[in-house]
Chain A
């Protein structure tokens, strides 16, 4: 199996565990064509890592879904103002935890990695199209929420 395909499988498995344990949502891989994304603005959390492996991890979801994810993480109602203020914060946290576990799964528990602080940005149509077109992007449905996860390893 190609390294990138293997890495994508590991990333997918780790993500499903993390989203289940942190947000009580069940992730399952799907086809890009089956994602309910039409007309929904997306946000993306992204971080980079440096060490024996180098690259980036990006996680994109519809902006409206951030609210539900944050509510689940906090165990609160989605219409609570406390949740709304922290909606994108939850996405950063999930990408952060996912990244840490992917690196341990791929490289073991001895190497030390430097992780960047995750950043969130709006994904415009071109950005979303680029993410969807990338072979390294794994599409999920987490409950009914469309999710795109891309682990991009870089060789230096």
Chain B
């Protein structure tokens, strides 16, 4: 089944690389939505069905952590898995984000097979639940 994906990053080039990596990794993508910050992402999530979100942490207007917090307070949005794609290397921060509901973490730079592994892991866990 094709997945509707939302990629949240203030860098257009990063969004393009994530979508290209999904394609190269043969992840079946249905609709691919893009947002430049957390606020734009929440607007898209309010209007469209999304199966999986890839989000950066450090963004203007609204960062990834605040976006995840707002998703966790929404009955519908809290079940959507979020994967952080970041240069962040702090396990302390990642533990904090996992506690807020983040399902997985992909550290940049990454290869297409890394993104495939994360998608498989997150979608498998979602189906198991």
Contact = CB atoms under 8 A, between A and B. Distances in A.
A121 interface: no
The range of chain A's interface size is 20 to 34
Contacts of B10: 117
A103 B58 CA distance: 15
Given A18-B109, A117-B58, A117-B59, A100 B13 contact: no
Contacts, number: 61
Given A97-B87, A112-B90, A70 B108 contact: no
Contacts of B90: 104, 109-113
7 contacts: A99-B87, A100-B86, A100-B88, A104-B89, A110-B92, A113-B90, A117-B58
Interface of A: 18, 21-22, 70, 73-75, 82, 85-86, 89-90, 92-93, 96-97, 99-101, 103-104, 109-113, 115, 117
A73 B108 contact: no
A21 B93 CA distance: 24
Interface residues of B, number: 22
B92 A112 contact: yes
A97 B86 CA distance: 8
Interface in B100-120: 107-109
Interface of A is mostly: helix
Interface string B1-38: 00000000011111011001000000000000000000
B17 A103 contact: no
Contact of A86 (B16, B20, B59, B109): B16
B91 interface: yes
Given A22-B109, A74-B20, A103 B89 contact: yes
B39 to A, nearest CB: 15
Nearest to B111: A21
Contacts of B46: none
